[in-house]
Chain A
């Protein structure tokens, strides 16, 4: 299959709407704070980043969050931004590590690294940006101690769990789907590799 620009455009759109569709089936986890919910919407974003390019990952994450907002209402803009940031912070490290090693081991290392990286960065971002944004909206000062404890005790373990959940879903998906896709030689870097071998 020749990879045209049209094909890439359509593919990003399809992956984006898949991600949004998966996001509709989100569910809150009983042991975490009620406003944190988990879903499988990161899977298509990961696919885009690994099959095409990290930029494709960003595009698909953007489509996902915009679609979700359009269909579910813009009641929580801060949550939308933080969800988008979490997508990027998770998917980009996976894409870069995988591209560097290019094997299943590389993928697993990338997923592990990305989980820790995303959870750490999201705790930091929540402490510095998102939680203060909420308290500003609520016009109430929780104090830096209060913010710190929510970020460390609430946000950090949740994102570690979320990263683990997505990784556990993605690895079997990747193992089953990638040979199939490689055969069809989707993906710019896969094509480049075959070209280099010839």
Chain B
């Protein structure tokens, strides 16, 4: 559990998708989120599924990580499928169970909508699986920068995000340490009445808070001591660079959109 969270979603393999600029990937995801809804009949859905499979293969991320991303939404997909299978009354009657007639149109619609939701999730997973959280934050910051003149603190937001991302593994490690320390003193977090459980939970959360406050204080002092004074004129260790392949990726996604728009049934 701890190990799973520490590495986050990012799968460090080398692939064409990994090498893309995070800004290009964010733009492509936004476009794909719209494109998915263009599909509305057999051939456009076939094109959509082909695109999904192609991108998944291109990412060289093992399939099980996509399935893990689908897990939280799995109930919704199954539910959607059966809802359509039983309540959409189109096409020929295939069979009847307990007074419900299942129509071919219902099955078809159920499969289509499940594919639509599934594709959305896979596209979103592609972004987080092939991009490190820090790169994503940098990408978002560069999109937010133009809004600076309207008073949006883009630099501060990105800085806070980077600090938080860095702190997640540290905090989880610390939480683990506190849990073990309390367990060594005989605390049992899974037993007892609701009242005792709340009390033991408090005994876990209070040290976590106290240590975090201390950590924030130290970090702020360290930053001030090193002369941190906001985003003005600050340079970066890692600079995002838009390359030809990023433009090509955007063109490919636009092409997918055009194909689906042509195939769809108006």
Contact = CB atoms under 8 A, between A and B. Distances in A.
| Size bracket of the A interface | 35 or more
Contact of B83 (A21, A71, A140, A181): A140
Given A6-B224, A70-B136, A13 B84 contact: no
Contacts of A67: 161, 164-165, 168
B163 A137 contact: no
Which of the listed residues A34, A44, A67, A70 has the most CB atoms from chain B within 10 Å of its own CB? Answer: A70
Contacts of A74: 124-125, 127-128
Interface stretch (B66-74, B245-253, B258-266): B66-74
A33 B60 CA distance: 36
The residue among A10, A34, A69 with the most chain B CB atoms within 10 A of its own CB is A10
Interface in B214-256: 215-217, 219-220, 223-224, 228, 230
B68 to A, nearest CB: 8
Interface string A1-22: 1001111011111111110110
B165 A70 contact: yes
Interface string B54-87: 0000000000000011101101100110011001
Nearest to B156: A9
A18 B172 CA distance: 9
Interface stretch (B12-20, B180-188, B203-211): B203-211
A38 B212 CA distance: 23
A169 B203 CA distance: 11
Contacts of B121: 73, 75
B44 interface: no
A2 B212 CA distance: 18
A58 to B, nearest CB: 12
B212 A18 contact: yes
A1 B136 contact: no
Contacts of B257: none
A35 B217 CA distance: 38
B213 interface: yes
A172 interface: yes
A59 interface: yes
Given A7-B217, A73-B69, A47 B209 contact: yes
20 contacts: A4-B220, A9-B220, A10-B216, A10-B223, A11-B213, A14-B215, A21-B172, A40-B205, A69-B128, A70-B128, A71-B8, A71-B133, A72-B72, A73-B121, A73-B128, A74-B124, A74-B125, A75-B69, A75-B124, A169-B201
4 shortest interchain CB distances as A-B pairs: A13-B163, A17-B164, A7-B220, A74-B124
Interface of A: 1, 4-7, 9-18, 20-21, 24, 34-35, 40, 43-44, 47, 59, 63, 66-67, 69-77, 134, 137-140, 168-169, 172-173, 176-177, 180-181, 186
Given A44-B209, A173-B205, 10 more contacts: A6-B223, A7-B216, A7-B217, A14-B164, A16-B164, A17-B167, A17-B168, A70-B9, A70-B165, A177-B210
